[in-house]
Amino acid sequence: MAGIRLAPEDPELSSQQSRGAVVSDLISDDERSVAADSWSIKSEYGSTLDDDQRQTDAADALSAANFPPAPSSDYSSDKEEVEAEEAVQSMLGLQSYWDSAYADELTNFREHGHAGEVWFGADVMELVASWTKGLCIDISHGQLPNHVDDTKSELVDQGDKYLSTWSVLDIGTGNGLLLQELAKQGFSHLTGTDYSEGAVQLARSLADRDGFANINFLVDDVLETKLERQFQLVMDKGTLDAIGLHPDGPVKRMMYWDSVSRLVASGGILVITSCNSTKDELVQEVESFNQRRVGMSQEHEKDEAGRDPPFRYLSHIRSYPTFMFGGSEGSRVATVAFVRS
């Protein structure tokens, strides 16, 4: 299930995002709006991005890509419309796009105190944090999930003692609000990384303002990570989605799994939240990575431990709303947990 874009939670934000002067003849108004709000979910935190600047950035990027000139007609063929939308979406996989976006959000925070966007919405973020808490407490107590999803574990009521030793990394942290939510749930050793320096500056500013100065934020690209330690819990909320939208998405995704496998400690958990992949697609992607890694280990005649699949499916959130499409049932957001061998 690729590229499903959720509607903003605030109708006023939707109307604001639809405004804007024509900045390029390459794409239509509707297609151009993808650059400003594609699969980013607005919430009560509010959207503070400069839409005109986003659209200008989109036009510049498309022009630089040497796309063929647009036809003189006001109507494009279906093929041309698809190609234009794919070109705009690919921008969301570029660091230059996010550097510009977070520069805008940082400016708006300094001038107006706005936190910026919450990907997938505040409700999803809160559900992911609370569900992850229950998952980690069960594992700390020696219990693996029984796949009766989203029910409150009896252990959760016993306090935060089970979470005090969990080291947490949020890759592609953006404004860092997911880590703030995890801190509210009782996690205390929290680190967020992002390859955009503007995102890290914004996350630090928000954490300091909101009373979470203990959260550590670092500039780091997960595909070329400089981190030399491992974490018991690694969170990804939309980062794999953005990587997949890079023009070299398939290669970048392979780099992602190689890197993440080195960041998750043995017995640790990787929790991925995506709106571009279903639960089954994420599981299949992990299986493909496992097969590739095991095959490499066998070729190099490594020890038996090195031949174990790096990840295995653990659980997923089942309470997201579902719908039927093409005879299959799916949801607009998927959150899946994998355990590191």
Least confident of 8-22, 128-142, 218-232, 245-259: 8-22
Q: With 90 as the cut, is the pLDDT of residue 66 above it? A: no
pLDDT at 249 exceeding the cut of 50:
yes
Percentage of residues of the chain with pLDDT beyond 90: 57
Give the whole-angstrom CA distance, residue 67 versus residue 81: 13
CA distance 267 to 128: 20
Reference 271, options 183, 194, 333, 335; nearest CA is 335
**Band of the pLDDT at 215, cuts 50, 70, 90?**
very high
Separation in Å, CA 95 to CA 61, 99, 187, 269, 325: 12, 6, 29, 27, 33
Reported as a single tens digit per residue, the pLDDT across 111-136 is: 999 999 898 999 999 999 999 999 99
